[in-house]
Structure 1
Amino acid sequence: MKFSKVLTSALIVAVVAVTSCKKDDTNSTTAASTDSTVTLQGRPAIEITTIEAGSNKEVVYKKATVTDTAAIVLKQGKAYNVSVKLFDKRNTPINVAAANERFYYTPSGNSSIAVIDLNTDSSNVPVGTTCKWITEVAGSGNINIELKADDATSYVASYSFNTRIQ
């Protein structure tokens, strides 16, 4: 009887040990491959966050590769508080204002978005890491976002997002 209790206890310990040491099913190359796609052919990855005015609903759009095609979907006749972040290869945020760079926004096609209220740096130069987007009529198009030096002559990077206003 004592032998069967010891055997049962040993079996339970063995089962617990085997199940708790289960091999991780995640692919160990996933983190490395994700890290290597954080730049868009040498450009920093970009993340746009929209929050509909009067709402706490936050939507994040990321463009980590050149082929990312997810559309930014917005409601017609609404205002959105928008923030834009850039990330380096290690997925570390880049301080655009400290780099003396700023964002320029150009809606195109049937994308009726007015971009206003760009934030400024300590010298009162618009940076555009935060701004407000006001949507007008329904339609689809693009919003092109260019990162340039403060003097607007030196091109740093360009991004284009499909937009859908409904």
Structure 2
Amino acid sequence: MITTRALRGFTLLELLIVIAIIGILAGMGITVYPMVITHAKKQQARTTIKNLELALAAYKSDFGIYPNDETPERVMNDLTGFCAEPNAKDPKYNDPEWNGPYYQGDAKNFEFGMRNKALLDPWMNKYQFSLSEPVHNPFSIDIWSAGPNKKDEKGGGDDITNWR
């Protein structure tokens, strides 16, 4: 005689159903994961751009002008106070107006060159600036990231900007 204790357990069908449910949930997670990561990177870029706007406003408050925007590296050098070799001829060297660094970010987001420091977005591209002749913010500044496609479309396409 078989007791009820010996009949306890799962049938093959029950196990297959549980495995199928786990597979479906894992499949949904795998497909959603890249979208979540992309959204997080976009939000990180927006936050960095906002922090750069604040840093540039503080710089302008001290000096009356925005930094030189020839290259993204020059802007970041002015905001962070990075200088490979101190230069007494540089107007910011020993400048009493200098209250910087105006921007301090995570070191992993910076690309260090011989004499330059560039801030990288979450896709490892340099943030771009238009300070002297902003197109989209005529009374302010234009800052953008190339975005997920890594192509600088001057604020178009999927670029992350401070004006839209």
TM-score interval w.r.t. the shorter chain? under 0.3
Bigger Rg, structure 1 or 2: 2
TM-score by structure 2 length? Answer: 0.28
TM-score by structure 1 length? Answer: 0.28
Quick check: which one's helix share is greater? 2
